[in-house]
Amino acid sequence: MSLFEIIKPAAAMVTQPVPMDPYASAVLNRILGLPRNAPVMECTLTGPVLKANQNILIALAAPEGHLGLPVWESIPVPAGETVDLRRLGGTSRIYFAVRSDGDEPSRFRLRTESLIRIKTKPDVPLSWADAEIQLTDQTFRILPASDRRGIRCQGAQKIKGGREIAPEPMTYGAIQLPPSGDPVIVGPDGPVTGGYRRVATVAFSGLRRLAWLMPGEQVRFTKITPEAALNHVACLEEALARDLMPC
């Protein structure tokens, strides 16, 4: 018997080999005592209603204060009870992981502190930017046409210098500039090669910020050095190893 059944499905729910937030899955799995790379569910704009088939533990990742449920900690759900994740309350995406709770509920009741949680809305860090292109001196709006393939940004000022190029490799976090002057951040389901000029790359530690961007949200980019980018990753790794506390 599976751990839970889905009573009301979500429009966009996937188990992704490449989560938009590479840390959400690691933290949820850590909270539940599961292997780091165990699959988690990623839902966009709305989530499902689940019913526990046995005693389970569920952990949710979302910015705080949106869901009306505790986030970044394990929640015991007794057999037969439901969890309603339909109302994301103004966040774009949630992640959840589930494990069996056996006969002794709440064995893995852990929560995470500080660093790994999303508390503020920091700038998106760029660990490389083409010197000819000015991306950091204005605010961009996230357009509704954004999805896991690409996050479309629009600034008040169009950026000059965008053009078509012979196709070159792209990766999650690459920023392309088409001739329109509105940058596009390549998402985890984006093409492996792209035909617009590559003008910047989001630092690895900034990818998690991209996962929580809402259409209409304002965002700024900030330039950081590759050394700083690697330090952020080291800090996140350290926090992941250390920063989990018993409730």
What residues make contact with another protein under the rule CB under 8 A?
A: 22, 127-128, 164, 166-171, 173-174, 191-195, 198, 201-204, 226-227, 229-230, 233, 237
Contact 40/28 with Cβ under 8 angstroms? yes
Contact 24/211 with Cβ under 8 angstroms? yes
Least distance in angstroms from the C-beta of 233 to another protein: 4
Token pair of 246 as six digits: 């018993």
Least distance in angstroms from the C-beta of 178 to another protein: 10
Least distance in angstroms from the C-beta of 146 to another protein: 16
Q: Which is nearer to another protein, 130 or 217 (CB)?
A: 130
Q: Give the whole-angstrom CA distance, residue 103 versus residue 168.
A: 54
Q: Which is nearer to another protein, 144 or 226 (CB)?
A: 226
- The identity of residue 133, as a single letter, is I
Least distance in angstroms from the C-beta of 201 to another protein: 4
CA gyration radius, the chain: 19
Least distance in angstroms from the C-beta of 192 to another protein: 5
Question: 78-82: long-range contacts (C-beta < 8 A, 24 or more apart)?
Answer: 78/52, 78/105, 79/52, 79/53, 79/54, 79/55, 80/51, 80/52, 81/51, 81/52, 82/7, 82/49, 82/50, 82/51, 82/52
Q: Which is nearer to another protein, 3 or 199 (CB)?
A: 199
Q: Which is nearer to another protein, 85 or 177 (CB)?
A: 177
Q: Which is nearer to another protein, 159 or 170 (CB)?
A: 170
Q: Which is nearer to another protein, 22 or 70 (CB)?
A: 22
Least distance in angstroms from the C-beta of 202 to another protein: 8
Q: Give the whole-angstrom CA distance, residue 124 versus residue 210.
A: 8
Supply φ then ψ for residue 241, to 5 degrees.
Answer: -75, -30
